Amino acid sequence: MRNQIEFKVYGRYALFTDPITKVGGEKFTYQVPTYQALIGICESIYWKPTIQWKIDQLRVINPIRTQSQGIRPINYSGGNTLSIYTYLVDVEYEVRAHFKWNTNRPDLEDDRNEHKHFFVAKRMLERGGRRDIFLGTRECQAYVEPVKFGEKKGFYDQYGELQFDLMFFSFEYPSDSGKEELIAYFSKPLMKNGIIQFPSTTEDMQSKFIKRMKFNKIKTIGLEEKGLLQNYKEEV
């Protein structure tokens, strides 16, 4: 696939928070990254409103291990409290992803240049991404590098099947669906020999309506829109 990228993402800690554990502040991680977290990593590597990233496969390289730590989060009213966060430790994943056009942005049709976006995404990946990379939460700093998917030996290569229970999959924003609503999807991922194959559609998944949300289009800011073009001409 021409517009497909392959990369590894790794870090010391990861926290893909189970929503059930957020209520009391005692955060507990899922065993594997959520689809939405992987989308966020791809968008940190390279993002434009013209494209939408889709995750094809995830490969778990290191054994799944957790570690609990005492954390003192800051309260909005001041001070802090003691909470216990359970992180994944020493994580490394291989990701295969591709992009497609955002059909909800017909105003950006002139920017639908597959050749351009593919090579810009490739360059940004080689440079470690345009924005900071993190695994689930902001304190879990991570790094990305281009790799050949499946080339490195992984812990679960001969493990067989491992079925995970129901977990959060992704959000569907108005920019994805064209509807003014936020929807959450849930699935039961199946890992075969360390590889999770993500479905191409959410039709058969459990879903939950979250709230009404307006579709605010992000406009590209150019020189003319900021009144800078005239100043640029004068300086030249």
| Lookup result for tokens 């597959």 | 114
Domain boundaries, the chain: 4-235
User: Model confidence over 11-21: pLDDT tens digits?
Assistant: 999 999 998 88
The distance from CA 234 to its chain's CA centroid, rounded to whole angstroms, is 43
Average pLDDT estimate for 31-49: 96
Q: What is the pLDDT of residue 32?
A: 97
Q: What is the pLDDT of residue 219?
A: 58
Mean pLDDT of the chain: 88
Q: What is the pLDDT of residue 226?
A: 43
Whether residue 230 is predicted with pLDDT greater than 90 in this model: the reply is no
Percentage with pLDDT > 70 across the chain: 90
Whether residue 114 is predicted with pLDDT greater than 60 in this model: the reply is yes
- Using pLDDT thresholds of 50, 70 and 90, give the confidence band for residue 95: very high
Contacts of 228 (CB under 8 A, 6+ apart): none
| Lookup result for tokens 């021409």 | 2
Whether residue 233 is predicted with pLDDT greater than 50 in this model: the reply is no
Report the alpha-carbon distance of residue 63 to residue 58 in Å, rounded: 14
Q: What is the pLDDT of residue 21?
A: 83
Q: What is the pLDDT of residue 218?
A: 61
Looking at residue 82, the DSSP 8-state letter turns out to be: -
Average pLDDT estimate for 114-138: 95
Contact present, 2 and 118 (Cβ < 8 Å): yes
- Using pLDDT thresholds of 50, 70 and 90, give the confidence band for residue 220: low
Lowest mean pLDDT among 62-66, 133-137, 227-231: 227-231
- Using pLDDT thresholds of 50, 70 and 90, give the confidence band for residue 231: very low
**Residue 202 in tokens:** 């959410």
Average pLDDT estimate for 65-82: 85
Report the alpha-carbon distance of residue 41 to residue 39 in Å, rounded: 5
Average pLDDT estimate for 167-188: 90
Report the alpha-carbon distance of residue 173 to residue 129 in Å, rounded: 23
Average pLDDT estimate for 99-115: 91
CA angle 135, 141, 142 (to 5 degrees): 70
Q: If one looks up domain 4-235 in CATH, what number appears?
A: 3.30.70.2660
Q: What is the pLDDT of residue 14?
A: 97
Better pLDDT: 175 or 57: 57
